Amino acid sequence: MQGNAQQVIVGTEGDDLMRRIGQLTRMLRQSMRELGLNKEIEKAAAAIPDARDRLNYVARMTEQAAERSLNAIDRAQPLQEQLGREAEALDAKWRAWFEHPLGLDEARDLVNVTRGYLRNVPVVTQKINAELLEIMMAQDFQDLTGQVIKKMMDVIHEVERQLFQVLLDSVPEGREREDMRQRLEGRWQPGVVEEDGTLTNGPQINGDADGVVSSQDQVDALLDELGF
């Protein structure tokens, strides 16, 4: 591609362009160093692995939730199918009985089997309800991933802001900078960046980190320690 560019830009025009680009690049590097902006870019780049970790967390949570729900459904379906089948089988026996009434012994058997079924229904429906509750609880991922995504948007916003600033500062004071500022601000909506509260961090992505608890048991242990 460089070959083509060189073919298009011929002669003194090409030299001028190259020289201008070289000058701008030098100026940019110098400004960045003077303003400490290379540090800002470093920080912005460092935020990217953090964003990646957060995305991983979101993917993990949603996958776990889906699996939990699907497993609960797998357990619940046979239970309720069984209830339906047994009811149909019993109904068939009662229909047969009405067509050809049975002797007392057989009638008593039929009644007992039916009563057995009726007593079993609440047992099975309770199991099914437990699976439904499990599916409901599995939806808690939405809250946790939502918080992480919010946090990530803050991080991205901050990175955007840093880069925006670098871009602006690289242009000399004056009309050109004003023009660029307006163009960029037109495309970029400055929002409210939440201050980094030390107590409002959202879900911990790494349960093993220092000063972090990773289970209810640990919470209880800490509260016991403190005498609460």
User: Does an H or E element contain 21, and which?
Assistant: helix 11-35
List binders of other proteins among 76-135 (CB under 8 A): 133
Residue 82 makes CB contacts below 8 A (sequence gap 6+) with: 124
Judged by CB under 8 A, does residue 139 bind other proteins? yes
Token pair, residue 2, equals 């460089």
Q: Which of 1, 78, 199, 208 binds other proteins (CB under 8 A)?
A: 199
Judged by CB under 8 A, does residue 202 bind other proteins? yes
Q: How many residues bind other proteins (CB under 8 A)?
A: 30
List binders of other proteins among 209-228 (CB under 8 A): 211-216, 219, 222-223, 226, 228
Among 192, 170, 196, residue whose Cα is nearest residue 41: 170
Minimum CB separation from other proteins for residue 52, in Å? 20
Show the CA angle centred on residue 11, arms to residues 8 and 14, nearest 5°. Answer: 60
Stretch of 23-31, 91-99, 177-185, 200-208 lying at the interface with other proteins (CB under 8 A): 200-208
Residues 73, 56 contacting (CB under 8 angstroms): no
CA 202 to chain centre: 12
Binding site for other proteins (CB under 8 A): 133, 136-137, 139-144, 146-147, 198-204, 207, 211-216, 219, 222-223, 226, 228
